Structure 1
Amino acid sequence: MPAETLSPASTTSFHVQRSLRHCLSSVAELMYESGHVLETLTLAQRGLSRQELASLSHQHSRWSLCQRVLEESDAATFNEYGRFVLTPLGRELMFDMFGQGAADCA
């Protein structure tokens, strides 16, 4: 269904999901370029340290914006170890986009 025929609430949801998917795709690309694997984000017990986040942000101008979008949409958060990981929502979208190998859904 085209965005212009959706209700205002559906249109907002459509744009949020599109933005999330775009950011997840960008994050996957930027992590790969920096030598990281997707499982670093998709496994709740792993994650990126604040130092690694700062490095990614310094290396890639898009990183900070995508990180903020993921956090504000509850697709990513900091785990109990203070490391940046995807939430169940983020993992579900990542799995949807890249397949089971990209996200720990077991």
Structure 2
Amino acid sequence: MPCEGDTPAASAAVDASRLRQCLFTLAELLYVNGHVLETVTLPGCGLAKREIAALDEQDAGWAACREMLESNAAGMTNQEGRFVLTSLGRDIMFDLFGQGAADCA
């Protein structure tokens, strides 16, 4: 018998909460390292492999957050091999930080 909290809606709420936490972590790491949110919200920009490696070294939780974002289709590697947010990730970033944080134009 499933637990009371094991419903698809509860699972989606947990995932959404984790995604928000990961985006907060990402925003903090970007700020601390001299980046702006547009670094990851603009599809043509993104974090290069060396920048991702620096974040991995600085914060042990970042790798798990990046994996969570990618596995939930909120983050991806663009054609240039740089980590960026997908439209889902940008939408959540916009909800968290307001207009301008997820502008793509």
TM-score of the superposed pair, with normalisation by structure 2: 0.91
Which residue number in structure 2 is paired with residue 40 of structure 1? 39
Give ranges in structure 2 of 5+ residues lacking alignment.
Answer: none
Give ranges in structure 1 of 5+ residues lacking alignment.
Answer: none
Which residue number in structure 1 is paired with residue 102 of structure 2? 103
Q: CA RMSD in A?
A: 1.7
Task: Please state how far the C-alpha of 1:7 moved relative to its aligned partner.
Answer: 6.7
What fraction of aligned residue pairs are identical, expressed as a percent?
48
| 3-state SS of 1:85 partner | strand
Which residue number in structure 2 is paired with residue 81 of structure 1? 80
Distance 1:77 1:105 in 2: 16
Distance 1:26 1:7 in 2: 26
Which is helix-richer, 1 or 2? 1
Distance 1:40 1:85 in 2: 8
Letter in 1 for 2:48: S
TM-score of the superposed pair, with normalisation by structure 1: 0.90
Task: Please state how far the C-alpha of 1:62 moved relative to its aligned partner.
Answer: 1.7
